[in-house]
Amino acid sequence: MALSRTQRRRVRQGGWDALGLAVFVVMVFPVYWMVTTAFKPVTEIISVTPSWFPLHPTLGHFRAALRQPFFWEDVKNSLIIVGATVAISIALAFLAAIALARYRFGGRKLFVVLVIGIQMLPQAGLIIPLYVVLAQYHRVNSLIGVIITYLTFVLPFSVWTLRGFLIGIPEELEEAAMVDGSTRLGVFLKILLPLMAPGLVATSVFTFITSWNEYIFARVLLNDQSKQTVTVWLSYFSGTSRNTDWGALMAASTLTAIPVVIFFLLVQRRIAFGLTAGAVKA
Amino acid sequence: MKRRSIVALCLVTVLAAAVAAATSGATKKATASGITVWLQTDAQNGWPDIVAAANKQFQADHPGVSVNIQYQSWTDHLQKFDATLAAGTTPDVIEMGNTEMTKYMAAGAFQDLTSLKGTFANSATWLKGLAASGQYNGKIYGVPYYAGSRVVTYRTDLFKKAGIAKLPNSLAAFAADSKRLFANQKKGFSALYVAGEDWYSAMGFVFDYGGGIATRVSGKWKGILDSPKSIAGLTAYKNFFLSVSRAGKTAIENSPDPNPYDVFAQGQAAAVVGPAWYTCCTGKYKPVTGQFVMPGHVKGTVMPGFLGGSDLAVPIGANKALGADWIKDFTSTAAEKGLEQKGNIPNATNLLGNSVNERAAARSWFVPQAKHWVDVENGNILRNMLGQILTGNLTVKQAAKSASDNIASVLNQP
Amino acid sequence: MAAAAETSPFRSRRRRRFWGQALRASTPYWLIAPVVVVTGVILGYPLYWLVKLSTERYGLFELIRHAGESVGLANYRSVLHDSVFWHTLLRTVVFTIANVGLTMVLGTLLALLLVRVSKVVRLLLTSGLVLVWSMPVVVAVQVWIWMTNFENGVLNYALQQLHVGNFANHDWDQTTFSQLTLVTTLIVWGALPFVVITLYAGLSQVPRDLIEAAEVDGARPWRVFRDITLPILRPILLILTSLSIIWDFGVFTQPYLLIGQAKITTGNYLMSIYLFEEGYFKSDYGRGAAISLLMLVIVAVLSVFYVRKMVRIGDV
């Protein structure tokens, strides 16, 4: 039986969708495991035969997680640190990326070497001297110290990635607009920014997640529990010399993952197909 | 060309300024308006009331001086400590694990508290093993805080079912009892679950037979795991393991291998050996859980147990008077008695009660007091030796000799 | 360094026409200044510290006294003469190639899949990827340990059900190869979200009507990919590859926690673990600094091919 063209397209679409769902299931399975463990009573967590679904779900672990002191303060600190890092790094990196992608200037290769080289440094080696530097500037145990540290690590990456996206945008677009009488700012707002939106979003999501999950520098640089980030808060569940409360740890981890997902859902529309369709019809 | 050199010059200037700012002068040490205390999260979860009481007493004696308690994790508190040592911003009091002390004492990280010994409660009767971990070259750098020993946690119902009326009082008796415990159980069940490479348990056997790990002979370390007594102990461990435990021969006693208390809670073992706090996590078997002291090979004796514990020290660069005073308040008789009630072993013999945990501490062993001992542990020398002995890859003699030589060379590093 | 400004007179003349002669000279410097200042201020001293310490004997004793003893290149010599270093290097290079290869191939395929699926499935899949991305590493490692438990882990169960082979009670911890294979699955799984989302963002720069026109003309999917999509994606693919090389070469937390400190031996070291064990665990900061700088040089050499391509693309 011959299928009409629309029918064929629907079948093909269905095939892709099925594949997409299969990939979803495989990728998300460990996350599923984490979340369901948060709802399982302890006997189910340690039982010899694992259960695919919590048979007797309990909210006890979430309650235990929230009882660990300073959760809300630490979430606030994380949001401040990550928010500032994302905002500042995107702005500064975008500017630097424009310089690299659109200008020729002496010392350009040196800057590129700096940008790439920093990312190649093993971070473990930087903990002690970085602490010493921040102590000198009296920025230990302060959110600003952590923000500056994170900026140092995400800026090179952001510059490098945004440059890549910028290179993909043909200069002819800007030139054409300028010839048409647009100001430089107009070019920036009407041409560059919309075309760069997907790249900016992808980079900011990366910065968000990397900063949100960063542990060792936050641990070393922040002393007061009221100033720590939520990732450090999470470490208190497994840092004792006694047993680890897996249920509470999984519940706590689920809680710390929520803001990231919310942020992504807010910005994900910008990584959409078809955004550029209009601009390219020149 | 010119522009490039200008850029390079600016870059170098910024870097140089950063270096200069960082290396110029030391950070001013905080004046005595507050002290910083580093305790492990065990205190935050286990006995926050004792911490609060110590703070209250301290602030009564020193009005106007605040106490900032910062809770640390065992996994990274040393990394953080190293950073503060480098920057000169050390806390005024720090809790250190007793195995962590020697390396830092040897490097001069702590202040000498010998002259203040009398001010600490019960210092004349400090537990010998714990106190020794805080001493170096005859000086006192660490005040004993609390200890924990190792006991056997067992299923009273299974022991009853197997007809074991009296708890075993020797290794031989235990091995005999285990045969009855294995009856009617499925494959993989252990009478006594001991992970093959659980060196804390295995070394107990070595010390029980009069052997040891290493001793100092005319200024140099000599490994004694290959001495006849140590070999007797290791052989006894091998035989005992094979008769009572179905754990992996190369398994360790925590992640990523199963934790003994999880094995117990899953019903896969009639008994497990480990710290006394294992009773926290016995799951549905809690009502039928009991503890007894691990017997030695001689009838009626206690197997030497590894005495784990913590000391409190005053790091270099900190406020010695205030730091020591806080330690005094935190290790007072009342505080130690409080710790004992939470299931720990207090720091002095006159405070010892009669719990299983404390009776097990009657005979204890400790690791060689060498500044490079941590490297032996991190290098897993003892664990690998046990794995090779149990799998039969090497004879006891060969494995012990190799480990012994290895340990000596590591400990004798400059 | 070649004189960059003088190679293409035609292009620079065109640029001069548009951005203004006076501004051209200083604008780029103002644009990169903030980045240079921030990184210089924070990393200046640490870099100096690393270089200085790599030429000194600097242990805990010296750390407390803030002064080391100069020993010239002894640290470097000791590391380069250590056979463990070379074996670890080889192992890490192979490990990196495997990880980067898998990440980039799977990432590209998944990004292309994202384009094809319907809107709902796309949102589901990208949200799923973000969930994966946001899972803390410590937690992911623990889930991996549960899943690969030899007695009752779901991995063995699934492989057994799929009749891939006899995986009942398979102990994944037995050999270095299987240990590192598990670590690879963990790392690739964790790295895919970023690669997929970034590539998908890059794909959105590919003009849809161009692809549709080509398809209407009867072009096969592979040719559409090769001739239209790939050239546009190239800069991003190169970036992601170079970044993956850098990250996978120096990855620490996942192998360290998954294999477990007790099971780590010189036989399954990776470079970052070697650095940690030889430098920081033993508090031999001088040696640690030397190894850090050597790692920097090695990674630079490994990724230079991609980096140069990247830089050259921008110069066209």
Tokens 């102590």: give the residue.
A135
| Total tally of structural domains belonging to chain C | 1
Task: Check residue B30 and give its pLDDT.
Answer: 47
- DSSP-assigned letters across all residues of C114-177: HHHS-HHHHHHHHHHHHHHHTS-HHHHHHHHHHHT-TTT-HHHHHHHHTTSS--TT--TTSSHH
Q: Per-residue pLDDT for B25 more than 50?
A: no
Task: Check residue B405 and give its pLDDT.
Answer: 95
What does the mean pLDDT of chain B come to? 89
Do the domains spanning B35-149+308-365 and B150-306+372-411 agree at the CATH topology level? yes
Tens of pLDDT along chain C (316 residues) come to: 444 444 566 666 666 565 566 565 777 888 889 999 999 888 988 999 999 999 999 989 999 988 888 998 999 999 999 999 999 999 999 999 999 999 999 999 999 899 888 888 988 998 899 889 888 888 898 889 888 877 777 788 788 888 877 777 777 777 888 899 999 999 999 999 989 988 888 887 777 777 778 778 877 877 878 888 888 888 888 888 988 998 899 899 899 988 888 888 888 899 999 998 888 888 889 999 999 999 999 988 888 887 787 777 765 4
Query: Do the domain assignments include residue C14?
Result: no
Query: Do the domain assignments include residue A117?
Result: yes
Tokens 């900032």: give the residue.
B68
Which chain B residue shows the shortest CA-CA distance from A46?
B262
Contacts A–B by Cβ distance under 8 A: 115
Task: Check residue A280 and give its pLDDT.
Answer: 35
Strands (E), B360-414: 364-365
DSSP code for C316: -
Query: Do the domain assignments include residue C19?
Result: no
ipTM score: 0.83
pLDDT average, residue stretch B384-413: 93
Question: Band of the pLDDT at B93, cuts 50, 70, 90?
Answer: very high
* Full-model pTM: 0.86
CATH number for position A99: 1.10.3720.10
Tens of pLDDT along chain A (282 residues) come to: 667 888 888 888 888 899 999 999 999 999 999 999 999 988 888 877 778 888 889 999 999 899 888 999 999 999 999 999 999 999 999 989 988 888 888 788 888 888 888 888 888 888 889 999 899 888 889 999 999 999 999 999 899 888 888 887 777 877 777 777 767 667 777 778 888 888 888 888 889 988 998 988 999 999 888 999 998 998 888 877 778 888 898 999 899 888 888 888 787 766 554 333 333 332
The shortest CB-CB distance from A27 to any of C46, C129, C140 is to C129
Q: Note whether B255 contacts C281, CB cutoff 8 Å.
A: no
Enumerate neighbours of B (3 or more CB pairs within 8 A).
A, C
As a dihedral over the C-alpha atoms of residue B71, residue B148, residue A248, residue A21, rounded to 10 degrees, the angle is 110
Residues A186 and A112 in one domain: yes
Contacts of residue B1, defined as CB under 8 A and 6 or more positions apart, other chains included, come to A106, C3
Q: Closest Cα of chain B to A75: distance in Å?
A: 18
Q: Note whether A92 contacts C134, CB cutoff 8 Å.
A: no
Q: Closest Cα of chain A to C177: distance in Å?
A: 22
Inform me whether the C-beta atom of residue B66 falls under 8 Å from chain A C-beta atoms: no
The shortest CB-CB distance from B3 to any of A48, A107, A133 is to A107
Residue positions counted in chain A: 282
B311 contacts in chain A (CB < 8 Å): none
* CA dihedral sign of residues B58, B59, B64, B67: positive
The shortest CB-CB distance from A240 to any of B7, B11, B42 is to B42
Residues A87 and A158 in one domain: yes
**CA within 13 Å, CB half, B170:** 8
Residues A89 and A209 in one domain: yes
The shortest CB-CB distance from A163 to any of C192, C232, C314 is to C314
Task: Check residue B29 and give its pLDDT.
Answer: 46
Which chain B residue shows the shortest CA-CA distance from C35?
B11
Q: Which two tokens stand for residue C161?
A: 């059900």
Inform me whether the C-beta atom of residue A242 falls under 8 Å from chain C C-beta atoms: no
CATH number for position C129: 1.10.3720.10
A238 contacts in chain B (CB < 8 Å): 73, 75
Which chain C residue shows the shortest CA-CA distance from A179?
C18
Q: Which two tokens stand for residue C248?
A: 């996978």
Question: Band of the pLDDT at B17, cuts 50, 70, 90?
Answer: low
Inform me whether the C-beta atom of residue B99 falls under 8 Å from chain A C-beta atoms: no
Which chain C residue shows the shortest CA-CA distance from A185?
C19
Inform me whether the C-beta atom of residue B75 falls under 8 Å from chain A C-beta atoms: yes
Q: Note whether B7 contacts A106, CB cutoff 8 Å.
A: yes
Q: Closest Cα of chain A to B27: distance in Å?
A: 6
Which chain A residue shows the shortest CA-CA distance from C28?
A99
C-alpha to C-alpha distance for A55 and A39, rounded to whole angstroms? 9
Which chain A residue shows the shortest CA-CA distance from B72?
A239
370-409 of B, contacting C, C-beta below 8 A: 374-375, 378, 380, 383-384
Contacts of residue B196, defined as CB under 8 A and 6 or more positions apart, other chains included, come to B241, B245, B247, B248, B249, B250, B251, B386, B387, B390
The shortest CB-CB distance from B22 to any of C45, C258, C260 is to C45
The shortest CB-CB distance from A104 to any of C4, C14, C300 is to C4
Query: Do the domain assignments include residue A18?
Result: no
C-beta separation of C233 from C206 below 8 A: yes
Question: Band of the pLDDT at B27, cuts 50, 70, 90?
Answer: very low
Query: Do the domain assignments include residue C100?
Result: yes
Q: Closest Cα of chain A to B53: distance in Å?
A: 19
Task: Check residue A282 and give its pLDDT.
Answer: 29
Q: Note whether B3 contacts A224, CB cutoff 8 Å.
A: no
Domain boundaries, chain B: 35-149+308-365, 150-306+372-411
Enumerate neighbours of C (3 or more CB pairs within 8 A).
A, B
Inform me whether the C-beta atom of residue B4 falls under 8 Å from chain C C-beta atoms: yes
Task: Check residue A274 and give its pLDDT.
Answer: 34
Task: Check residue B4 and give its pLDDT.
Answer: 54
C-alpha to C-alpha distance for B91 and B349, rounded to whole angstroms? 29
The shortest CB-CB distance from A220 to any of B5, B40, B79 is to B79
Contacts of residue B35, defined as CB under 8 A and 6 or more positions apart, other chains included, come to B65, B66, B67, B68, B92, B93, B318, B319, B322, B323, B326
Name the residue with higher pLDDT: C262 or B400: B400
Residues A215 and A164 in one domain: yes
Amino acid identity, position A31: V
Residues A203 and A83 in one domain: yes
Burial (Cβ within 10 Å: 0-12, 13-18, ≥19) of residue C222: exposed
Q: Closest Cα of chain A to B240: distance in Å?
A: 26
Q: Which two tokens stand for residue A51?
A: 């259960």
Query: Do the domain assignments include residue A92?
Result: yes
Q: Per-residue pLDDT for B21 more than 60?
A: no
Q: Closest Cα of chain B to C166: distance in Å?
A: 20
C-alpha to C-alpha distance for A270 and A264, rounded to whole angstroms? 10
**Domain of A109?**
77-229
Q: Note whether C28 contacts A125, CB cutoff 8 Å.
A: no
B11 contacts in chain A (CB < 8 Å): 107, 110, 114
Query: Count of CB atoms within 10 A of residue C230's CB?
Result: 13
Query: Count of CB atoms within 10 A of residue B126's CB?
Result: 22
CA distances from C261 to B201, B375, C252, C268, C292 (A): 19, 13, 12, 11, 21
Q: Note whether C146 contacts A108, CB cutoff 8 Å.
A: no
Query: Do the domain assignments include residue C6?
Result: no
Name the residue with higher pLDDT: B32 or A188: A188
Residues A58 and A95 in one domain: no
Q: Note whether A213 contacts C4, CB cutoff 8 Å.
A: no
Q: Which two tokens stand for residue C196?
A: 């997929």
Query: Do the domain assignments include residue A12?
Result: no
Query: Do the domain assignments include residue A59?
Result: yes
Best mutation target among C60, C63, C278 (most B Cβ atoms within 10 Å) is C60
Query: Do the domain assignments include residue A197?
Result: yes
Residues A181 and A153 in one domain: yes
Give the 3-state secondary structure of residue B194. Answer: coil
CA distances from A217 to A90, B76, C252, C275 (A): 21, 11, 15, 18
Query: Do the domain assignments include residue A5?
Result: no
Cα of C166 vs its chain's centroid, Å: 34
B82 contacts in chain C (CB < 8 Å): 60, 63, 283
Amino acid identity, position C315: D
Which chain A residue shows the shortest CA-CA distance from B261?
A243
Task: Check residue C182 and give its pLDDT.
Answer: 92
Task: Check residue A276 and give its pLDDT.
Answer: 36
Query: Do the domain assignments include residue A84?
Result: yes
Query: Count of CB atoms within 10 A of residue B121's CB?
Result: 19
Q: Note whether A43 contacts B283, CB cutoff 8 Å.
A: yes
φ/ψ region of C283 (left if φ > 0, alpha if ψ in -120 to 50, else beta) reads left
Architecture of domain B35-149+308-365: 3-Layer(aba) Sandwich (3.40)
Architecture of domain B150-306+372-411: 3-Layer(aba) Sandwich (3.40)
Query: Count of CB atoms within 10 A of residue B45's CB?
Result: 16
Whether the bond between B256 and the residue before it is cis, its omega within 30 degrees of 0, is yes
Residues of C at the B interface, defined by Cβ within 8 angstroms: 1, 3, 25, 29, 36-37, 40-45, 47-48, 59-61, 63-66, 142, 145, 151, 173, 258-265, 277, 280-283
Tally of helices (H runs) and strands (E runs) in chain C? 15, 2
The shortest CB-CB distance from C208 to any of A99, A160, A273 is to A273
pLDDT average, residue stretch B152-169: 92
Give the 3-state secondary structure of residue B94. Answer: strand
Nearest to B154 by CA among B80, B75, B261: B261
Q: For residue B291, what are the β-bridge partners?
A: B153
Residue C77: enclosing H or E segment and its boundaries? helix C74-80
